[in-house]
Amino acid sequence: MRSVIPSRPAAGYFMLKNETGKDRKIVSAASPDCGMLMLHLSKHEGGEHMAMVDSVDVPAGGSVSFAPGGYHLMCVKPSNRVKPGNAVKMTLTFDDGGTLTADFKVRNANGE
Ligand SMILES: [Cu+2]
């Protein structure tokens, strides 16, 4: 997770492999430290902007990358726990109702 300015929206990045043998979609994300946590996609057409997406496909046997310039989790209202050195829990919910919770390490703009 990248936090550039405290209390300003922060972005979450990860790589997820689907080893279930079934296509899955990420349909929502949540974190107790983010207020709303949205699925976003950065687009470069006509300047940098981002759009909310309803779901992200994770094909059977495949993977999806949330990375700068593409998909990211948008932590809209970071709590004061969202600062470099801390870890923040985020939960992904899938189209079959399953969930996955992971600790995201918070880093600054330099990746530290
Ligand atoms: Cu965003």
The pLDDT tens digits of the residues spanning 73-82 come to 999 999 999 9
From the CA of 98, how far away is ligand 1's center (Å)?
24
From the CA of 10, how far away is ligand 1's center (Å)?
8
From the CA of 64, how far away is ligand 1's center (Å)?
17
From the CA of 84, how far away is ligand 1's center (Å)?
19
Q: Which domains does the chain have, with CATH numbers?
A: 10-96 (2.60.40.1890)
Question: What per-residue confidence (pLDDT) applies to 15?
Answer: 97
The pLDDT tens digits of the residues spanning 42-61 come to 987 777 788 999 999 999 99
Please list, in sequence order, all residues whose beta carbon lies within 8 angstroms of the beta carbon of residue 47, skipping any fewer than 6 positions away.
Answer: none
Confidence of residue 84 (pLDDT cuts 50, 70, 90): very high
Please list, in sequence order, all residues whose beta carbon lies within 8 angstroms of the beta carbon of residue 11, skipping any fewer than 6 positions away.
Answer: 1, 2, 40, 68, 72, 73, 74, 75
From the CA of 68, how far away is ligand 1's center (Å)?
10
Question: What per-residue confidence (pLDDT) applies to 98?
Answer: 96
> Residue 38: what are its φ and ψ, rounded to 5°?
-110, 155
Question: What per-residue confidence (pLDDT) applies to 44?
Answer: 74
From the CA of 50, how far away is ligand 1's center (Å)?
6
Confidence of residue 87 (pLDDT cuts 50, 70, 90): very high
